[in-house]
Structure 1
Amino acid sequence: MSVQGIDQMLGELRSMSAAASGQTATPATDAAAQPDFGTMLKQSIDQVNAMQQAAQAQQQAFQSGDPEANLQDVMVSLQKASLSFQTMVQVRNKLVSAYQEIMNMQV
């Protein structure tokens, strides 16, 4: 993995962290320009799905003996897919926990 790839991944992690904490990378003045929660959640799930499919395709290419597929890239993509899936599961757990807490509130 190149330094540029690592820098790009760190940038993505920082932007995801800022989005999760409610901050934005650039100050938004128009509330209508901000995506709603459902759209952001769907996009995140789609990204995780795409990463898993790409990792699986690389794994199958390596197993079939494709000379273009090397073991390092396959392992890195599998780990990225695994990490993104684990992150998605933790977000889901937090959402369920928040929902249960709200439902248990007395009005």
Structure 2
Amino acid sequence: MAEEKEVIYGKLVEYVERFVRDPQRMRRLEDEVAYHLFVWTRGGLERGIKCFDEAAGPLERLLGGKRLFCYDEWEGLRLAVTQVFRLGRLKLLVLTAFKKGARVAWPPRKA
């Protein structure tokens, strides 16, 4: 199990190295259904991904912020990709790779 986790996090880091411009730092988190990699960046995402929803509260809109919910399939991983914008620029990217057997509606779509 620990070996599978390291392989998946390795693929997530490889995704960041290939497709994220100017990543700054990364943190990881695991829960019951997925592995998450948080990536702070000053650049953007250099890969076309499919987006299905967007959210922004009143204060976020005022400050040029929003959250864009997308998904991608890469190297056998089903990835949920959440992009967090502040002042009109991508600041945080959250990559979520789902564990085998996780009950996930794929492809995701707006509820």
TM range (shorter): under 0.3
Q: What TM-score, normalized to structure 1? A: 0.24
Higher share in strand: 2
Higher share in helix: 1
Of the two structures, which has the highest relative contact order with CA contacts closer than 8 Å and spacing of 6 or more?
2
Q: What TM-score, normalized to structure 2? A: 0.23
